Amino acid sequence: MLRRLILAPTLVAAVMAAGCSEDPVPEPTPDPVVISETFSGTVTVNGAFTHPFTVTRAGAVTAQVTALAPDDTITLGVALGTWNGIACQVVIASDAAKLSSTVPGTATAPGALCVRLYDVGGLAAATTYDVKVDHY
């Protein structure tokens, strides 16, 4: 009987100690890294140019016109879309983009996307451009 009295408190203490253990602390996930890509090209009168790129995770995608020449006051169309290997299927567009204009979008999953620059009817001559695309 004495043996049962000694084992009972020991067993209770062991169960209580096991119930008080801390939950494991989850490892912090690193912040996603923004990838910036700059594309350059030339849009001709009534023309367009498409640049495909790949996103590695869902998140914000922006396209910003960073240079136009010879006339940095012209208006172009800028679109973001999905790249099917042949064409840019436009999802969001601005037909009134100027120097420093930004077109914002969201990638819902990793995959092939594209940025397309095009004449909206205002070009009198071929125009060179730089467009910066930020994505994850």
122-133 tens-digit pLDDT: 999 999 999 999
Burial letters for 77-101: b for 16+ Cβ neighbours within 10 Å, e otherwise? bbbbbebeeeebeeeebbeebebeb
What would be the CATH architecture of the domain defined by 35-135? Sandwich (2.60)
What's the pTM value of the predicted model, to 2 decimals? 0.78
pLDDT tens sequence across 7-44: 444 444 444 444 555 777 778 878 889 999 999 999 99
Domain boundaries, the chain: 35-135
φ, ψ for residue 68 (rounded to 5)?
A: -140, 135
Q: What would the mean pLDDT of 96-100 be, rounded to a whole number? A: 97
